[in-house]
Chain A
Amino acid sequence: MSDTVEIRWHGRGGQGTVTAAKVLADACLSSGKNVQAFPEYGPERAGAPLRAYNRISTNPLRIHCPVTNPSIVAVVDATLLDSIDVTEGAADDAVFVVNTSKPPEEIRKKLKLKDTQKVFTVDATKIALETIGRPLPNSCMLGALAKATGLVDLDTLLEDVKGSFGSKFSQKIIDANLEATRRGYEEVNEG
């Protein structure tokens, strides 16, 4: 099972966290991996904390239960850092990717991360406002996560972000999301 990467997403209802997990699954599938993407099902309300999960593996995935020991933790909304323990069960070498304007060192301290754990930050909400014009950080977070973890290359990810919009959205919205993804990839900070 060691070649299985397990990811836990923390977000709030309405931020596109579940969509982000789905797009990541598509991008990893495009790279030839076996994938799972699923949210934690509960009463779905805008603004309420939620979790979503990914498993990515070179082997067929048989396990069907929530991820409890993630090797990657993505925090889509920094306000969650004050209300829930996003480090719970995280692997000793886990990678944290956090949407925040604060520097990685500050987040590392706040989360009391182990020396063996890595933290990356990106101001995804600001980038989303500048590109998409709305505080939807998910595309930007995907770019940051791709850079921080090396799970998927940027071109493959951009193709699948584009594909996730189907034919319902204007080119302008799709381009803005692609730009947000690209900027997330480029502007993520390691600490």
Chain B
Amino acid sequence: MGKKLAVTGNQAIAEAMRQINPDVCAAYPITPSTEVMQRFAAFVADGKVGTELVTVESEHSAMSACIGASAAGGRVMTATSSQGLALMWEMLHIASGMRLPVVMTLVNRALSAPINIHGDHSDGMGSRDCGWIQLYSENAQEAYDNLIQAIRIAEHESVRLPAMVCMDGFIISHSIESMEFLPDETVKEFIGEFKPTHPLLDVDNPVTYGPLVLPDYFIEFKRAQHEAMSHVKDVVLEVAKEFEKISGRSYGLFESYRLDDADIAIVILNSAAGTAKDVIDVFRDKGLKVGLLKPRLFRPFPYEEVAQALANVKVIGVLDRAESLGGFGPMFMEIASAMMTNGSNPLMVNKIYGLGGRDFMPEHAEAVINELKEIMDTGKVKVLKEYIGVRE
């Protein structure tokens, strides 16, 4: 078994990157993910990894260099946050459209304006439609475990798509928590050798990446990407099973917490899910059947599986740490879509919380559960979408 240490989330990610030892890493530092690259750059300078570190002048260039290196035939990684991801946006589509298994850590942070460096999910949700696999992580342990598994998922021959691993800025990235590291050799063996497919540097077999494709073929390319995405769920579960063998930690498409007999469910991502679980235990002790669903794989979204897990629930509260101004929160839209697939028709409400790093306190979870109970008892939803933990 591995070593237990107290580290920041960023440190956990940098260690995972050291163990993965990618061929190329192109990055431009941005708060709160800066420490990832700071530490990884030290590993490069100290010869702890063989990675070619490309320091660039912007995140757009960082992703562009990642795309070039990946198409050339290398295993490629990077990390960013917020505006950095926003600046990468057009290149994110290029990476997924070219089917390049670049793996990126996204340390979630609010998007400006007003400028804010703290954690919310507006960056990750804003890149929802970019064709990347997205895995979300509750704590440093999950972020570390997800990053190692993301390599296998992205590079799987039936997938070959870029993947991002998300964790909360500051709350996880800068907080120190105890977690367990796997031995270097175990990680090396688990991820295996990178097998490039159609690398540009294979000059004997020349290929073209990113050509002009007009209406006569474009939709076929997208259909192929859709097909690749449809394989991800199975690969995620297969990789998780193998990961459990080396780590003892089990992962699924999402985490169900005390959900089996629940009347009331909370759906919530990342670090706030941990706080909510503690509160759920308190309500359970009082006899209220409440549970929690924490999505892990957000893209592709496991609609049928989520619907099945929530099939017997009477009331669902979906908590979003991101806004789709003028719409419901992005997680609410997914859960509402999921519930449509099995025809169950639970009462649902959407709560927007924690934007710009506003703390999610146990009292917030408590108030939501109390409201969900009232909705269950009366059968009435007063407000469908509402902000919590806000001054009005």
Q: Kindly state the separation between the CA atoms of A65 and B170 in the bound complex, as whole angstroms.
A: 11
Q: Do residues B175 and A36 form an inter-chain contact, with CB atoms below 8 A? A: yes
The 4 closest A-B pairs by CB, nearest first: A62-B274, A38-B175, A64-B271, A37-B176
Q: Kindly state the separation between the CA atoms of A63 and B359 in the bound complex, as whole angstroms.
A: 11
Residue of B nearest to A21 (CB): B176
A173 close to B (CB within 8 Å):
no
Q: Which residues of chain B from 275 to 296 have any CB-CB distance to chain A below 8 Å in the complex?
A: 275, 277-278
Q: Which residues of A approach B to under 8 Å, CB–CB?
A: 1, 21-22, 25-26, 29, 33-39, 41, 61-66, 68
Q: Do residues A29 and B175 form an inter-chain contact, with CB atoms below 8 A? A: no
B258 close to A (CB within 8 Å):
no
Q: Do residues B6 and A62 form an inter-chain contact, with CB atoms below 8 A? A: no
Our pick among A26, A64, A66 for the contact of B272 (Cβ within 8 Å) is: A64
Q: Which residues of chain B from 137 to 194 have any CB-CB distance to chain A below 8 Å in the complex?
A: 138-139, 168, 170-172, 174-178
Q: Which residues of B contact A22 (CB under 8 A)?
A: 6, 176
Q: Which residues of B contact A64 (CB under 8 A)?
A: 139, 168, 171-172, 175, 271-272, 274-275, 360
B4 close to A (CB within 8 Å):
yes
Residue of A nearest to B354 (CB): A65
Q: Which residues of chain B from 168 to 226 have any CB-CB distance to chain A below 8 Å in the complex?
A: 168, 170-172, 174-178
Q: A35-B178, A38-B174, A62-B277 are in contact. Are A29 and B5 (CB under 8 A)?
A: yes
Q: Do residues A35 and B176 form an inter-chain contact, with CB atoms below 8 A? A: yes
Q: Kindly state the separation between the CA atoms of A22 and B178 in the bound complex, as whole angstroms.
A: 11
Q: Kindly state the separation between the CA atoms of A1 and B275 in the bound complex, as whole angstroms.
A: 12
Q: Do residues B361 and A65 form an inter-chain contact, with CB atoms below 8 A? A: yes
Shortest C-beta distance, A154 to chain B (Å), equals 19
Q: A22-B6, A41-B170 are in contact. Are A65 and B176 (CB under 8 A)?
A: no
Q: Kindly state the separation between the CA atoms of A25 and B178 in the bound complex, as whole angstroms.
A: 8
Q: Do residues B362 and A63 form an inter-chain contact, with CB atoms below 8 A? A: yes
B118 close to A (CB within 8 Å):
yes
Our pick among B6, B174, B277, B362 for the contact of A65 (Cβ within 8 Å) is: B362
Q: Do residues B4 and A65 form an inter-chain contact, with CB atoms below 8 A? A: no
Q: Kindly state the separation between the CA atoms of A29 and B271 in the bound complex, as whole angstroms.
A: 21
